[in-house]
Amino acid sequence: MTGKDYGNADGKGTLSCIAFTGKGKILADRLASALGGEAMRCGEPLGLREWTADRFAASRALIFVGAAGIAVRAIAPYVKDKTADPAVVVADEEGRFAIPILSGHLGGANDLARAIGRVCGAVPVLTTATDVNSVFAVDEWARRQNCAIVNIGKIKEISGRLLAGGTVRVCSDWPVAGALPPGIQISEEGDCDMRVSLCAKTGDSPTESRDALWLVPRIAVLGVGCRRGISQEAIEEAMAALLTESGLCEQAVCGAATIDLKQNEPGLRAFCAAHKWPLYVYNAEQLREAAGSFASSAFVEQVTGVDNVCERAAVLAAGGPLRLKKRTGNGVAMAVALRPFEPTWRWLDE
């Protein structure tokens, strides 16, 4: 594992380490170098409180090289929930143990502890029940497959069933490669306990499982074209209409794309910032080279130099096909393309 595993499209950084002694700083530097992060000794220049407040909000993972109690007290004011909190691991300055204390699965703290062990020989001290019992951890698996979990409260139910030796039936809109973990069963009937899908199941379809744990791959890219001076609110409304019409889950979206002529539109930039999505930008020549069949507009071509912005930009940024063709209204054109997604049953480092 490298530091890139701790980055994300939400704008958070990678890995931040803090140490409290000269000996600890040596280990912190070593870990930061190996795992792709940054290290600091407490007080040089920031104190513990200032460093924690800043890094907890900005980093994907934190390592405290020192006493566990210090780390617990330092992070306590900032802990929110498992969907937002960074991974936090404590390592002693001798590098003997690595202890995840926050966000073991969804945040990746358990993985980080294992990675620290590979760097310095530390023993990962894992206390999560699924790890202790070598049981498939659905939240760990979701993170590795780059999936959001919509109804996160269902994780406890799924994990509890697996820990009790039960079976969890899975429906996936994609084939999942590899050997099935113990307790996992593929359901072809649509009646399942866990499903992997971009869209909500609605109506009386036999494939609907309202009570299933819902995992959403983060693979959708919004292509956006807009008139000059468009407001953030207008773009938000366009997206809401697109998602409602298609059933696509907003958590599937991982970024937006447009033409360079629109990259500095305040409304578009504010829209991306609000959702913590990157904005991918292409010039007209690049957009013309996009592979596929796209809607064509003479007016758009006259203004921008290319016949279609939103569909072409989405395809280029996603590196995959259109999922939703252009939808227009109130000065906004929007389309969706999907990144390649090839899930596997891998959920631990091999």
Query: What's the CATH code of the domain at 228?
Result: 3.30.420.180
Are residue 21 and residue 92 in the same domain, yes or no? yes
Question: CA angle at residue 302 from 296 to 307, to 5 degrees?
Answer: 20
Look at 3-7, 52-56, 91-95, 315-319 and tell me which has the smallest mean pLDDT: 3-7
Q: CA torsion, points 308, 310, 316, 317, in degrees to nearest 10? A: 170
- DSSP characters over 4-26: GGG--TTS--SEEEEESSHHHHH
CATH label of the domain that carries residue 100: 3.40.50.11220
Q: pLDDT at position 211, please?
A: 82
For residue 192, give its domain range: 138-217
Note whether residue 264 is domain-resident.
Answer: yes
Are residue 164 and residue 249 in the same domain, yes or no? no
Which of 9-13, 24-28, 204-208, 289-293 is most confident?
Answer: 24-28
pLDDT (average), residues 179-206: 80
Please name which of 294, 328, 97, 323 lies closest in space to residue 226, comparing C-alpha atoms. 328
Are residue 112 and residue 154 in the same domain, yes or no? no
Q: Residue 127, Cα to own-chain centre: how many angstroms?
A: 24
